[in-house]
Amino acid sequence: MHRRGVGAGAIAKKKLAEAKYKERGTVLAEDQLAQMSKQLDMFKTNLEEFASKHKQEIRKNPEFRVQFQDMCATIGVDPLASGKGFWSEMLGVGDFYYELGVQIIEVCLALKHRNGGLIMLEELHQQVLKGRGKFAQDVSQDDLLRAIKKLKVLGNGFGIIPVGGTYLIQSVPAELNMDHTVVLQLAEKKGYVTVSEIRSSLKWETERAKQVLEHLLKEGMAWLDTQAAGEPQYWLPALFTELYAQEITPEEAKEAIP
Amino acid sequence: MDRFSWTSGLLELGETLVVQQRGVRLCDGEEKVKFDTGVLLLSTHRLIWRDQKNHECCIAVPLSQIVFIEEQAAGIGKSAKIVVHLHPASSNKEPGPFQSSKYSYIKLSFKEHGEIEFYRRLSEEITQRRWENMPTGQTIQVTKDPQAGRIRAVGIVGIERKLEEKRKETDKNISEAFEDLSKLMEKAKEMVELSKSIANKIKEKQGDITEDETIRFKSYLLSMGIANPVTRETHGSGTHYHMQLAKQLAGILQTPLEERGGIMSLTEVYCLVNRARGLELLSPEDLVNACKMLESLKLPLRLRIFDSGVMVIELQSHNEEEMVASALETVSEKGSLTADEFAKLVGMSVLLAKERLLLAEKMGHLCRDDSVEGLRFYPNLFLTQS
């Protein structure tokens, strides 16, 4: 009677069997990698063809860019992840958005001392367009938002805060939690807010309202008007529509360029 | 809106086109009406509006009906507008879309801009009143082109029609582009599926895949812009590309860092490097991934992340803790300083100045005074004078 499964011989056999399985496993992945490499080459060709026909469309047409981005997101592809990606190299989408990123950073830095690092998307849009000059490609607000989303990874505190149907862009690493955001949204209508308004609209206690407003003051995002009739008003320079498209002074520009 | 009459849109003899603008909506006083997207034409005699979707729908009002006009600036989410105040409709007016209106003014809403120019021209025409000098009455000869099956008009309107055709052609190009884009995306989707299945295999095997193959796979993902589902501690999201980049950065940033006291924020680096490159720019992720590899590649720079999340590049020789000692001296000399004041004194960016002061506080050398007037730092007398 043979005893199966014991002894040095059995162990050696088992090891051989395992090794064979391992090999197979590795071979399977190797096969798939080779397949992917081939498909990648084919895809590159398809992309080249697409680029030769429609590259202009992407550069000139903001609507088309939106469609393109949405489709990429749906299938799980990020065309802006790397400058070395096919999308960037062949369609030139990368350069468009990365350069826009630089321009956004510069505008935010230049205006930071005025608004504490908060700026309305409309104002950012106008300032960026001005900086780009008459002959540059048109840039939409959607383009700005996508560029800003990519900038977040640099750790400088870039954030997008929805207010009143549009957005406030944050460009400093100040902590803005839900409470702060909600007060910003309340202030958006008139450009300022008071403690009483917060108490009546949000049903908060005075202490909570005061804390939020003081935080905004400290961060330089709000200014206090103690001479207002009635009670003090907390103004947000970021929301002053009258200040939109005011020229960036040479001193401010110097602050921006490293 | 009861001052408008239906019209063919053709100019009359003696009538000249002055300016036109697409994307204009008409409002009856404060109320919206169905005329919401059209081309607005200003001639020497009339204000004409034609629906962009249905060219048959065309209305006009004589300029002589206008009392005065005003501008309404654009706001958030609102287009710029021109308000046109009108005389009451004359009794022999040609039939139009409305019999009566409770408003004596209309609003022209410029959804695609062009309000400023249009207002200027309209003001001019109202002032000059050229319609009084040029008698009209006869419409231009129209000939029906049997082959094309459409009315061919000469003059300005003919040019306008050609422009319209060109626009249609552009629209056609765009739909072709969308079609091609959809097909391309189908193929990209296949790539994503394949990469998912390979990633799963790698996860299962856990170490039976060679380093080499992992690197290859990561570079494929990078090319396609697919997020890396497999995290490896040794390389992170980095690929050979990022390694090369890290080495390049070490070369490019040496001098700028020395000029700035040995430390720069990552946003500064991003701007500096991309401005220098001009083309083939780096994505923010490329920069971060490359910087993460600096230390392991033993390059003379390193990435540092402060508690606040702010990311900086430092020279290896730079010692932020030593800089804190000199910061303490500076603050002591002045009694107290805010980040802004410190930044100006030392010649640093406010962002990095703040980080240094915060670090000094963390190390116990400085105390803060946090008030609505700002964040001010004092030497920590609790420590030194206990």
CATH number for the domain spanning A226: value is: 1.10.10.10
- Nearest by Cα to B136 from B56, B57, B62, B48: B62
Mean pLDDT taken over chain A? 84
Subunit contact B283:A81, Cβ cutoff 8 A: yes
Q: Say if residue A56's pLDDT is above 80.
A: yes
Nearest residue, CB atoms, B201 vs list A28, A165, A258:
A28
A2 inside domain: no
Q: Do A53 and A132 share a domain, yes or no?
A: no
The set of residues, in sequence order, having a beta carbon less than 8 Å from that of B254 and lying 6+ positions away, is B300, B301, B315
- Residues of chain B with Cβ-Cβ distance to A77 below 8 Å are 188, 192, 224-226
Q: What is the pLDDT of residue B141?
A: 39
Identify the domain containing residue A41 by its residue range. 12-75
Q: Do A106 and A222 share a domain, yes or no?
A: yes
Q: Do A50 and A146 share a domain, yes or no?
A: no
Subunit contact A105:B267, Cβ cutoff 8 A: yes
Q: How far is B3 from chain A (nearest CA, A)?
A: 36
A214 inside domain: yes
- Residues of chain A with Cβ-Cβ distance to B305 below 8 Å are 155
Q: How far is A1 from chain B (nearest CA, A)?
A: 38
Q: What is the pLDDT of residue B140?
A: 42
Subunit contact B283:A150, Cβ cutoff 8 A: yes
Q: What is the arithmetic mean of pLDDT over A15-34?
A: 65
The ipTM of this complex is 0.80
Subunit contact B201:A29, Cβ cutoff 8 A: yes
Q: Do A47 and A114 share a domain, yes or no?
A: no
A3 inside domain: no
A172 inside domain: yes
Residue A92 touches partner B, C-beta closer than 8 Å: no
Structural domains of chain B, ranges and CATH numbers in brackets: 5-130 (2.30.29.30), 238-300 (1.10.10.10), 320-383 (1.10.10.10)
Q: How far is B86 from chain A (nearest CA, A)?
A: 31
pLDDT confidence tier of residue A103, bands split at 50, 70 and 90: very high
The tokens for A38 are 């081939």
pLDDT in tens, A155-201: 888 999 988 788 999 998 888 888 999 999 999 888 889 999 999 99
Q: What is the pLDDT of residue A257?
A: 56
User: Would you write out chain B's pLDDT as a tens digit for each of its 386 residues?
Assistant: 888 888 887 787 778 888 888 889 999 988 888 888 898 999 888 899 998 888 888 899 988 888 888 888 888 778 889 999 888 888 788 888 888 888 888 999 998 888 888 888 888 888 888 888 765 554 443 444 444 434 445 567 777 777 788 777 777 777 788 888 888 888 888 888 888 888 777 777 655 667 777 778 888 888 888 877 654 434 455 678 888 899 999 999 999 998 888 889 999 999 999 998 888 899 999 999 999 989 888 899 999 998 888 999 999 888 888 888 889 999 999 999 998 899 888 888 888 899 999 999 999 999 999 887 778 999 988 877 76
Q: What is the pLDDT of residue B232?
A: 45
Subunit contact B284:A153, Cβ cutoff 8 A: yes
Q: Say if residue A112's pLDDT is above 80.
A: yes
Q: Do A124 and A213 share a domain, yes or no?
A: yes
Q: What is the 3-state secondary structure (H, E, C) of A158-205?
A: EEEEEECCEEEEEECCCCCCHHHHHHHHHHCCCCEECHHHHHHHHCCC
Nearest residue, CB atoms, A77 vs list B173, B192, B266:
B192
Phi, psi for residue B160 in degrees, rounded to 5: -60, -40
| C-alpha distance across the termini of chain A, in Å | 85
A127 inside domain: yes
Three-state DSSP class for residue B336: coil
Q: Do A137 and A201 share a domain, yes or no?
A: yes
Q: Do A139 and A40 share a domain, yes or no?
A: no
Subunit contact A77:B224, Cβ cutoff 8 A: yes
The set of residues, in sequence order, having a beta carbon less than 8 Å from that of A42 and lying 6+ positions away, is B187
Q: What total number of domains does chain A contain?
A: 2
Distance CA A179, CA A174 (A): 14
Distance CA A221, CA A180 (A): 11
Domain end, chosen from A20, A42, A75, is at: A75
Subunit contact A154:B270, Cβ cutoff 8 A: yes
Q: What is the pLDDT of residue B214?
A: 76
Q: Do A127 and A250 share a domain, yes or no?
A: yes
A229 inside domain: yes
Question: Which residue has tokens 């529509």?
Answer: A241
- Residues of chain A with Cβ-Cβ distance to B376 below 8 Å are none
Q: Do A104 and A226 share a domain, yes or no?
A: yes
Contact A72, A79 (CB under 8 A): yes
Q: What is the pLDDT of residue B55?
A: 81
A252 inside domain: yes
Which one is predicted more confidently, A124 or A24?
A124
Nearest residue, CB atoms, A258 vs list B177, B198, B271:
B271
Q: Say if residue A209's pLDDT is above 60.
A: yes
Which of A26, A47, A84 is best to mutate for the B interface (most B CBs within 10 A)? A84
Q: Which residue in A has a C-alpha nearest to residue B282's C-alpha?
A: A83
Q: How far is B377 from chain A (nearest CA, A)?
A: 14
Q: How far is B205 from chain A (nearest CA, A)?
A: 8
Distance CA B40, CA B26 (A): 9
Q: What is the pLDDT of residue B144?
A: 40
Phi-psi region of A5 (alpha: psi -120 to 50; beta: other; left: phi over 0): left
Subunit contact B372:A79, Cβ cutoff 8 A: no
Subunit contact B271:A218, Cβ cutoff 8 A: no
Nearest residue, CB atoms, A156 vs list B190, B267, B372:
B267
Subunit contact B184:A101, Cβ cutoff 8 A: no
Q: What is the pLDDT of residue A256?
A: 61
- Residues of chain B with Cβ-Cβ distance to A154 below 8 Å are 266-267, 270, 284, 287-288, 311
The tokens for A59 are 């550069």
pLDDT in tens, A65-101: 888 888 888 888 899 988 888 888 888 888 899 999 9
Q: Do A141 and A245 share a domain, yes or no?
A: yes
Q: Do A140 and A228 share a domain, yes or no?
A: yes
Nearest residue, CB atoms, B197 vs list A32, A95, A99:
A32
Q: Do A125 and A29 share a domain, yes or no?
A: no
Q: How far is A4 from chain B (nearest CA, A)?
A: 29
Q: How far is B51 from chain A (nearest CA, A)?
A: 22
Domain end, chosen from A75, A107, A122, is at: A75
**Per-residue b or e along A34-51, where b marks 16 or more CB atoms closer than 10 Å to that residue's CB:** eebeebbeebeebbeebb
